[in-house]
Amino acid sequence: MAYLTLPASAGIIGIGTSLPRYKLEQDEVFQRIEASCPQDSDIMRWARRIFRQCGVDTRYTCEPDFLEPAGDCRYLPGQEEREVPSTSERMRIYERESVPLAAQAAREALEDAGLHSSSITHLITVSCTGQFLPGLDSILIKDLGLSPRINRIPLTFQGCHAGLKAVQLAKSLVESADSHHVLVVCVELCTIHFQPPASREALFGASFFGDGASACIISKVSPGQKHVFQLGDGHAVLVPDSDAEMIWRVGDHGFDLYLSPAIPKLLKSFVGEEVGHLIGQESLPFLWAIHPGGRGIVDAVQDIFGLGDDQVSYSRSILKEFGNLSSATILFVLKRMRENLIDQGISYAEGISLAFGPGLTAELLCFSYVQSISNDPMADKEKAAYV
């Protein structure tokens, strides 16, 4: 395809993910929400519907307080006079819990890629759910044994699309020099920002966000490498007149999130045109790695392009099992996709990845899965068993 330049020089050669230890069942989270807002039956009716329809069964959290009985959780207390954790306390939890999650995902990605940490030339860290200094990047250098001279690039407070943004940035770095090996690490602790619901809109975030970390290694692809995602053309777009649809601000009791229920409808108004701008007159690819920002977002993309259920199954399964992990989610989707392609014995398939965040911002990136890199990428493409 024209939009996937061959031979591709940059690819994802290793992926890692990690989750905190505490698992949340969706009905249990709703019980805590209900106990925190006993006087507002209208909001609870709305909450019940949102929790049932959002496409999430389970999520993970770094905070054991969420396992307390309904009404006793400090983040969602049953009595109005009980004080919820302050932003400073939540940031201390973030600093304590984010580092081991990020390091675990990074180690898995390095092992998957077959690279030693000393080979990494650039470290891109991504997070929008917490901040501290010295930052995550400086601590990972020590924990992972990275070079102290490594080029550090933190992407902070950008939202759900930042994971795919980091992949696009890493691709550019790798294409600028054959010696570059980039480690991307995304970690998000969304649940530490849960608050008693004050409005219907505030319930959207509480219904599907979870905690987790992901990482990948991006370098120049070379013969002999297996199960690689070669990276093609991509771009980002800022949707006009949509800045009020997704808002993420620092409040006194955590970060205050607003998600408009109109976001899926807005996606339908521009995503088709943007994908057309990226791929031109070429036919749509088979593989779709969609950031599952919510069930409605996956539904919208599936409807726009007439995708089959199997094409969006990766995004739906990640949402169902782990929720929306903000920037970390897209690498969970790609990892699940790669596992499935390996199981099927697919030798080659082309795809596109989409992620959305505040702005509204959309990130789009073409890629191809290659079972085994040879000396002749064009020959690989011609002889491959397309899905």
* 70: exposed, middle or buried (Cβ count in 10 Å: 0-12, 13-18, 19+): middle
d(CA 263, CA 240): 13
Cβ-Cβ contacts under 8 Å for 127 (sequence gap 6 or more): 98, 136, 155, 156, 186, 187, 188, 327
DSSP per residue over 249-314, as a string? EEETTEEEEEE-TTHHHHHHHHHHHHHHHHHTTSPPPSEEEE--SSHHHHHHHHHHHT--GGGGHH
The two structure tokens encoding residue 304: 């726009």
Check 73, 128, 160, 190 and give the catalytic one.
160
**Is residue 160 annotated as a catalytic residue, yes or no?**
yes
The two structure tokens encoding residue 228: 């690689």
- Torsion, Cα of 12, 13, 18, 24 (10° steps): 50
d(CA 253, CA 242): 26
Catalytic residue numbers read: 160
